[in-house]
């Protein structure tokens, strides 16, 4: 995801002074492609740029980079954090940045690789309003829709809710199509009926055909779906809320990971609901 955002910025003519990845080969490959340098460590990233965009996989990776050199001589720098992580981690990052005289903004993406590549991401931003204004010129190159949600952590909350509902709709769709297949129904017909009735949804458009055809090339992995539903469930627990659909969804995605299918696209959840697709019974 980060690489595709870098490619997009490069194509927009935005000067990119350095790229970094935990896998040095990946960073070097990308650096060559977009004519920049691969920074040897996080300290060098911050030294090379005024604005640093981060896209990590989870809370732990986020803490690791902010404790691991990214904030060295960070005064005046602007950090834009695009990963879907726990809201509390965004608040922690803002405090760390404030203490160093740097600024931070969360810019949660409600879209995927294709949109990153085209600069049409839907970006939900959380942080100080003046930091949002400062980040705008770059964000506008990445996203076609920018939305300021509120203080640090608030965009991550909205993002967690978006993905929690999206994942549950995905899991439900997989059940509908799986049962339809078991009943011998024509799934192309069934999807069309769904699209014209109360069963219609965004995931029907993005994942329905893929579920039917077992086309699970990864745009948004099952493992990420499990993580994001997990973030939402953690928030719910803190609020004393019981959310059985979100819990059932998380359980299905956890099961998919356990079966070694976590790197499939989220549509891969249909592997669990179609008869005979996957050996282990539910």
Q: Applying CB under 8 A, which residues contact its own copies?
A: 110-111, 122, 124, 145, 147, 149, 154, 157-158, 161-166, 168-169, 171-173, 175-176, 178-180, 182-183, 185, 189-190, 193-194, 196-203, 206, 232, 235-236, 239-249, 251-252, 273, 275, 281-282
Q: Which of 46, 33, 82 is closest to 62 using CA atoms?
A: 82
Distance CA 256, CA 106 (A): 29
Report the residue number, 36 or 273, with the smaller CB distance to its own copies. Answer: 273
Distance CA 48, CA 264 (A): 36
Report the residue number, 12 or 185, with the smaller CB distance to its own copies. Answer: 185
| 239 CB burial (10 A radius; 0-12, 13-18, 19+) | exposed
Q: Shortest distance, CB of residue 219 to its own copies, whole angstroms?
A: 10
Q: Shortest distance, CB of residue 154 to its own copies, whole angstroms?
A: 7
DSSP 109-171: E-S-HHHHHHT-EEEEEEE-HHHHHHHHHHHHHHEEEEEEEESTTHHHHHHHHHHHHHHHHHH
Which helix (H) or strand (E) is 107 found in, with range?
strand 103-109
Report the residue number, 15 or 276, with the smaller CB distance to its own copies. Answer: 276
Residue 52, both tokens: 């640093």
Report the residue number, 41 or 192, with the smaller CB distance to its own copies. Answer: 192
Q: Shortest distance, CB of residue 150 to its own copies, whole angstroms?
A: 8
Coil vs helix vs strand at 78: strand
Report the residue number, 13 or 281, with the smaller CB distance to its own copies. Answer: 281
Phi, psi of 126 (to 5 degrees): -135, 140
- Residue pair 56/112 in contact (Cβ under 8 Å)? The answer is no
Q: Shortest distance, CB of residue 222 to its own copies, whole angstroms?
A: 14
Report the residue number, 62 or 123, with the smaller CB distance to its own copies. Answer: 123
Q: Shortest distance, CB of residue 277 to its own copies, whole angstroms?
A: 11
Q: Shortest distance, CB of residue 250 to its own copies, whole angstroms?
A: 10
């Amino acid at each position: 995801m980060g690489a595709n955002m870098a490619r997009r910025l490069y194509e927009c003519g935005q000067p990119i002074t350095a790229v970094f990845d935990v896998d040095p080969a990946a960073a070097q490959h990308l650096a060559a492609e977009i004519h920049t340098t691969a920074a040897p460590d996080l300290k060098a990233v911050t030294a090379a740029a005024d604005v640093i965009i981060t896209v990590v996989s989870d809370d732990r990776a986020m803490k690791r980079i902010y404790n691991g050199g990214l904030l060295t001589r960070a005064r005046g720098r602007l950090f834009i954090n695009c990963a879907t992580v726990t809201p509390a981690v965004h608040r922690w990052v803002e405090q760390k940045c404030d203490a160093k005289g740097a600024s931070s903004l969360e810019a949660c993406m409600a879209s995927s690789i294709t949109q990153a590549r085209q600069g049409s991401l839907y970006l939900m931003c959380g942080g100080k309003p003046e930091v949002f204004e400062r980040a705008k010129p770059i964000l506008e190159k990445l996203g076609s829709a920018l939305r300021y949600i509120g203080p640090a952590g608030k965009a991550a909350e909205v993002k967690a809710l978006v993905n929690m509902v999206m994942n549950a709709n995905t899991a439900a769709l997989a059940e509908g199509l799986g049962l339809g297949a078991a009943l011998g129904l024509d799934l192309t017909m069934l999807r069309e009926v769904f699209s014209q009735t109360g069963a219609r949804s965004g995931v029907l458009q993005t994942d329905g055909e893929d579920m039917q055809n077992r086309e699970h090339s990864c745009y948004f992995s099952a493992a990420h779906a499990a993580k994001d539903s997990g973030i939402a469930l953690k928030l719910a627990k803190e609020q004393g809320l019981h959310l059985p659909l979100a819990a059932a969804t998380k359980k299905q995605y956890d099961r998919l990971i356990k079966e070694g299918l976590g790197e499939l696209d989220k549509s891969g959840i249909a592997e669990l609901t179609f008869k005979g697709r996957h050996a282990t019974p539910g």
